[in-house]
Amino acid sequence: MDKYLCEPCGYEYDPEVGDPDGGIAPGTAFEDIPDDWVCPICGLGKDVFVKM
């Protein structure tokens, strides 16, 4: 699974880790994250993330 980078703040979404605090379980691919999920650092949406 690919990692994704939040371009504005530099947060890396790693699917092996997920975002447990944001309700995203480890092993969740970026494509499978709900569209209303936001970056846990800057609060922007999935549209600002780019594949690493």
39 marked ligand binding residue: yes
42 marked ligand binding residue: yes
Tokens (6 digits) for 1: 């699974």
9 marked ligand binding residue: yes
Question: Contact, 30 vs 49, CB < 8 A?
Answer: yes
How far apart are alpha carbons 8 and 1 in whole angstroms?
22
Residues tagged in the binding site annotation: 6, 9, 39, 42
Residues tagged in the binding site annotation for Fe cation: 6, 9, 39, 42
